[in-house]
Amino acid sequence: MGTHIQRARAATAAAGLDALLISAGADLRYLTGYDARPLERLTCLVVPAAGEPFLVVPVLELPAARAVPGLDVELVAYAETDDAYGLVAARLPAGTARVAVDNHMWAEKLYGFRRALPGAEADLAGEVLADLRMRKTPDEVESLRRAGSAIDDVHRHMGDWLRPGRTEREVAADIADAILAAGHATAEFVIVGSGPNGASPHHDLSDRTIEPGDPVVVDIGGRMADGYCSDCTRTYAVGEPPAEFLAYYDVLRRAQLAQTDAVRPGIVAEDLDAIGRDIIAEAGYGEYFIHRTGHGIGLEVHEEPYIVAGSRRPLEPGMAFSVEPGIYLPGRHGARIEDIVVCTDDGGERLNRAERDLVVL
């Protein structure tokens, strides 16, 4: 039984749960290494608080599960017409009263378990697993470091694609190809927000043609073969940008630099958020910073911990998260600077090294 499952089983018992029920997704991959297909058929890791874990898979997925390196839990296959939920219920200890399911379990699977375990209360496994997943091991940090280096390489070549006369969609197609060429297994997202589209943080893409002087927000990320993700945003100027943009970009750069420099064990998440937010507000742009400072990252692009007002979570060594303040002027333009930072024993390590000063192409 792997270390991650051992820790999860201990945490399950400590939380007063009888078992974890983990379907296909990032939690399953974290615990077993198995990147299972999310199918209508049930794939489920069962981690009893007392007893040995087992992995229930459709019989047609059994070869894929057996091929997972280092997977050392019992595999329980079921046939096409078998009741997978009843199979799980029958193998759980008698008197099972409280289980937890992964946060992204499909509703139809949750209802399947409710029917099979009518007397059991169902909680969210995120309450148990988030505390484990947010504290990255040295190997996980190294995976994030490789992912960060790969996405940095894409940003360093942005001048090859980003120029006047091209559409956001055309630029994004080149970026997606470059994300794969840089070593990612998949390109998870490509945001190219030019001119007024840069004022929408999650703009995505359009057929707008990039014009001379446009600020362009480029937020990109991919997933490496080992499952760990990259996420990095830079804002570019295609030619000389407006003076008002230059003024607030300098404010944004100072805020982001102050926040990345402030990362250390013990700093509270909302206090880190406030460091950049206060700088932006004091410069008169507070109403235009409309989202949290950051999110955790690992096997998912967004996971715990979240760097946001209201979170009194102290940062700890091994926690990895984005630091991405932004300023967005509706209808005109916007800017965001984003790095992934990992909290170390005595400070923070910025995993993205691409230039943070404004790059004019």
Strand partners for 244: none
Cα dist. 318→90, 114, 132 in Å?
A: 39, 36, 10
Distance of CA 352 to the CA centre of its chain: 15
The structure tokens listed for 228 are: 């760990």
Amino acid at 146: R
Instruction: Provide the CB-side half-sphere exposure for 331 (13 A, CA).
Output: 0
Residue 301 three-state SS: coil
Q: What distance in Å separates the CA atoms of residue 239 and residue 207, rounded to the nearest whole number?
A: 20
> Tell me, what's the pLDDT at 1?
66
Cα dist. 223→3, 140, 142, 275 in Å?
A: 23, 13, 14, 30
Amino acid at 359: V
Give the residue among 250, 330, 251 at the shortest CA–CA distance from 290: 330
Q: What distance in Å separates the CA atoms of residue 22 and residue 32, rounded to the nearest whole number?
A: 10
Cβ-based neighbours of 359, under 8 Å, separated by 6 or more? 158, 159, 234, 236, 237
- 49 in Cβ contact with 17 (< 8 Å): yes
To the nearest 10°, report the CA torsion of 115, 118, 120, 125.
10
Over the stretch 242-268, which tens digit does the pLDDT of each residue have? 999 999 999 999 999 999 999 999 999
Query: φ, ψ for residue 168 (rounded to 5)?
Result: -55, -40
* Rg, Å, the chain Cα set: 23
Query: φ, ψ for residue 248 (rounded to 5)?
Result: -85, -20
* Domains detected in the chain: 3-132 (3.40.350.10), 138-360 (3.90.230.10)
Query: φ, ψ for residue 148 (rounded to 5)?
Result: -65, -40
The residue ranges of DSSP E strands in 308-360, in sequence order, are 320-323, 326-329, 333-336, 339-343, 348-350, 359-360
Q: What distance in Å separates the CA atoms of residue 2 and residue 11, rounded to the nearest whole number?
A: 14
Q: What is the value of pTM for the model shown? A: 0.95
The structure tokens listed for 87 are: 């199979």
**Positions in the chain short of pLDDT 50:** none
